Amino acid sequence: MFIKILTKTSKNKVSHYASLVENKRVCGKVVQVVKVNLGPVTEEQIPYLKAAYAAKKPRLVYDD
């Protein structure tokens, strides 16, 4: 599963929407199935959402 970001533009406003998506094989073809719509997100939240669902978990907080 992974986070898919959809960007919608209207006139002079840009909106970002996030969904939790899973790839499945149906009739020999790969299709994306939306598991959960997470709704509107800000540009600052996108890297944190992607890191939360990444296969290799990156460290967002570093200890000194």
List the domain boundaries for the chain: 2-52
Q: State the chain's mean pLDDT as an integer.
A: 87
The pTM is what? Answer: 0.74
Q: Kindly give the residue spans of alpha helices, DSSP state H, lying in 1-64.
A: 46-52
pLDDT value at position 34?
94
Reported as a single tens digit per residue, the pLDDT across 8-25 is 999 899 999 999 999 999
Q: Report the C-alpha gap between 2 and 41 in whole angstroms.
A: 15
Give residue for tokens 């899973």: 22
Structure token digits, residue 12: 């002079």
On whether the CB atoms of residues 21 and 32 are closer than 8 A, the answer is yes
